[in-house]
């Protein structure tokens, strides 16, 4: 704490030097004239002028401040609220039922693909079913003949092997048909309907009527994603955290995000997951922060800067708007009450603040006491009158 006697009466700053030597205050110009009764470093202002300049005063008090840890990350979807849709069949798009940005419900039709794979799958199931029935009959017949010693055990085993092969083929054909039934199948017209896998908005559509698409179970190198459907009311931010900072970040900690698209806007969320292992190459751990996104401003793959609260503390603080930087010095204006002629007295005093803290409050290291009244709005205006 600086004592009142130790505080300099004048400060260097962004002012014009006018007769500094005559005034006895090197580096500071003052509007004070000899005999005016206004001490150096003070501004006396009429109540009307205070009101016109919208000068506001607040008391110095202890505030709850957060220390923050800043890192970079990327906006992404919540993986359980987004669906990436591919076609399981090869064919031609004959109908599209939704537009980009349209909100859809789970199971709602998105597009129809005409594909010979549909007829082939239905045919495979019917053929496998017929073969299985025939093989089962052969086994039963060979078993009856074997009981009467009218056939050899070898023939019975051959029939039994054929039955097992037919049963396996039926299972294979049925499983393939089941995969196709994740959409709506019209086996007569060989049409396959792609349906929405989740509730959400159509975020991406990569097809048009007449487009030839490759089936997901065919040549994987040419398969393209046809639709992305996702819910954007809440998004994730994935960021990297250095090993040295791991112990400082806790699940549930407040997180504030800034993105270049909206430089004057902040998004508040919280840390909801910290990875249990490090990347061996970068020695960093992944952290995930969840953010509400009702206005849909945060987009997939946006780069962002996130500030994470790592410790809360109660300290003597002043509003950041009260601090005026004059070169390498920091000052505030303290309300000293009324002057003898009824004006408001404001004294400019040097203070030391913790500039590493960002936010509406700055911790006071020394220079002010609890309860002192400082100018929280209009300090720059008062400084211009010195």
**Per-residue pLDDT tens digits for 150-174:** 888 898 899 999 999 999 988 888 8
Average pLDDT over residues 364-372: 89
Least confident of 99-103, 122-126, 373-377: 122-126
The answer for residues whose C-beta is within 8 angstroms of residue 4's C-beta and 6 or more apart is none
Q: Per the structure block, which two tokens stand in for 92? A: 């031609």
Residue 32: is its pLDDT beyond 80? no
Cα separation, 127 vs 173, whole angstroms: 9
Average pLDDT over residues 216-243: 85
User: What is the fold of 67-79+232-312?
Assistant: Elongation Factor Tu (Ef-tu); domain 3 (2.40.30)
Residue 211: is its pLDDT beyond 60? yes
pLDDT at 177: 75
We find that the CATH architecture of domain 20-64+314-383 is Beta Barrel (2.40)
CATH 2.40.50.100 fits 80-115+190-230, yes or no: yes
Place of tokens 């060979």: 142
pLDDT at 136: 92
Cα separation, 85 vs 96, whole angstroms: 14
- Residue ranges of the domains in the chain? 20-64+314-383, 67-79+232-312, 80-115+190-230, 118-180
Greater pLDDT, 65 or 57: 57
Residue 62: is its pLDDT beyond 60? yes
Confidence of residue 187 (pLDDT cuts 50, 70, 90): low
3-state SS, one letter per residue, for the chain: CCCCCCCCCCCCCCCCCCCHHHHCCCCCCCCCCCCCCCCCCEEEECHHHHHHCCCEEEECEEEEEEEEEEEEEEEEECHHHEEEECCCCCEEEEEECCCCCCEECCCCEEEEEECHHHHHHHHHHHHHHHHHHHHHHHHHHHHHHHHCCCCCHHHHHHHHHHHHHHHHHHHHHHHHHHHHCCCEEECCCCEEEEECCCCEEEEEECCCCCCEECCCCCCHHHCCCCEEEECCCEEEEEEEEEHHHHHHCCCCCEEEEEECCCCCCCEEEEEEEECCCCCCCCCEEEEEEEEECCCCCCCCCCEEEEEEEEEEEEEEEEEHHHCEEECCEEEEEEEEEECCCCCEEEEEEECEECCCCCCCEEEEEECCCCCCEEEEECHHHHHCCC
Confidence of residue 19 (pLDDT cuts 50, 70, 90): very low
Average pLDDT over residues 210-217: 84
Greater pLDDT, 182 or 83: 83
pTM of the model: 0.52
- What torsion, rounded to 10 degrees, do the Cα atoms 329, 333, 334, 337 define? 150
Pairing, β 329-338 against β 344-350: antiparallel
φ, ψ for residue 88, nearest 5 deg: -80, -10
For the chain, percent of residues with pLDDT exceeding 90: 43
CATH number of 118-180: 1.10.287.470
Cα separation, 67 vs 180, whole angstroms: 54
Confidence of residue 221 (pLDDT cuts 50, 70, 90): low
Please state, as a whole number, how many other Cβ atoms lie within 10 Å of the Cβ of residue 63.
18
What's the mean pLDDT when you consider all of the chain? 83
Report the range out of 102-111, 209-218, 303-312 with the highest average pLDDT: 102-111
pLDDT at 201: 92
Residue 145: is its pLDDT beyond 70? yes
Residue 27: is its pLDDT beyond 90? no
Tens-digit pLDDT profile for residues 85-105: 998 888 999 999 999 999 999
Residue 189: is its pLDDT beyond 70? no
Residue 286: is its pLDDT beyond 60? yes
Cα separation, 86 vs 202, whole angstroms: 14
Question: Which CA distances in Å does 58 have to 14, 79, 281, 288, 346?
Answer: 25, 47, 51, 38, 13
Confidence of residue 6 (pLDDT cuts 50, 70, 90): very low
pLDDT at 109: 94
Question: 323-354 in b/e burial notation, b at 16+ Cβ within 10 A?
Answer: bbebeeebbbbbbbeeeeeebbbbbbbbbebe
Greater pLDDT, 228 or 221: 228
Average pLDDT over residues 355-376: 85
């Amino acid at each position: 704490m600086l004592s009142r006697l130790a505080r300099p009466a004048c400060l260097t700053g962004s002012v014009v030097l006018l007769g500094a030597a005559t005034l006895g205050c090197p580096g500071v110009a003052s509007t004070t004239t000899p005999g005016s009764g206004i001490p150096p470093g003070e501004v006396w202002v009429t109540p009307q002028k205070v009101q016109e300049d919208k000068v506001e005063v607040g008391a110095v008090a202890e505030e709850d401040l957060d220390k923050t840890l800043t890192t970079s990350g990327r906006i992404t979807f919540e993986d359980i609220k987004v669906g990436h849709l591919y076609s399981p069949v090869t064919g031609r798009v004959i109908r599209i039922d939704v537009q980009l940005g349209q909100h859809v419900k789970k199971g709602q039709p998105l597009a129809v693909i005409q594909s010979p794979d549909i007829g082939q799958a239905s045919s495979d199931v019917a053929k496998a079913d017929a073969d299985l029935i025939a093989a089962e009959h052969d086994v039963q017949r060979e078993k009856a003949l074997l009981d009467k010693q009218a056939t050899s055990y070898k023939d019975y085993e051959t029939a039994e092997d054929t039955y097992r092969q037919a049963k396996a083929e039926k299972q294979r054909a049925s499983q393939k048909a089941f995969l196709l039934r994740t959409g709506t199948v019209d086996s007569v017209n060989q049409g396959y309907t792609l349906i929405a896998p989740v509730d959400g908005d159509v975020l991406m559509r990569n097809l048009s009527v007449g487009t030839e698409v490759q089936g997901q179970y065919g040549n994987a190198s040419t398969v393209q994603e046809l639709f992305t459907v996702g819910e954007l009311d809440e998004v994730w931010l994935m960021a990297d955290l250095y090993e040295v900072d791991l112990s400082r970040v806790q699940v549930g900690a407040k997180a504030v995000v800034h993105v270049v698209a909206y430089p004057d806007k902040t998004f508040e969320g919280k840390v909801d997951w910290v990875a249990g292992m490090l990347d061996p190459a970068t020695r960093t751990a992944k952290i995930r922060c969840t953010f509400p996104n009702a206005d849909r401003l945060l987009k997939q793959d946006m780069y962002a800067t996130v500030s994470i609260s790592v410790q809360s503390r109660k300290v003597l603080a002043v509003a950041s708007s009260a601090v005026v930087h004059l070169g390498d010095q920091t000052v505030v204006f303290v309300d000293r009450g009324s002057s003898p002629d009824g004006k408001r007295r404001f004294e400019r005093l040097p203070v030391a603040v913790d500039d590493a803290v960002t936010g509406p409050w700055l911790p006071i290291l020394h220079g002010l006491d609890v309860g002192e009244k400082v100018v929280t709005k209009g300090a720059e205006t008062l400084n211009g009158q010195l």
